[in-house]
Structure 1
């Protein structure tokens, strides 16, 4: 029975590594669209603020 326990430890490690590897390799590009749109609005606002200061 003890030998079976020692064989299960690497099995659990492999399963845990596979789960972690799948989670680490997931596609995380879905949130980039909203962030890029927010950054574009920020740049536009900064350009407007900069152009207003030059005209004053």
Structure 2
């Protein structure tokens, strides 16, 4: 009983840590994209990756 409780607690900690790491990674990617767009806007250029973000209505 105690072993299963400890293993469950360890598994829960791993799940929470994984969620936090994924959330931070997505936030860092979003910040990097914003910095890239700001640099390109300062240069007066268009983001070359913006075309991939367009969604076409079908």
TM-score of the pair, normalised by structure 1: 0.49
Structure number with the bigger relative contact order (C-alpha 8 A, sep ≥ 6) is: 2
Which has the larger helix fraction?
1
Higher Cα Rg, which structure: 1
When normalised by structure 2's length, the TM-score is 0.48
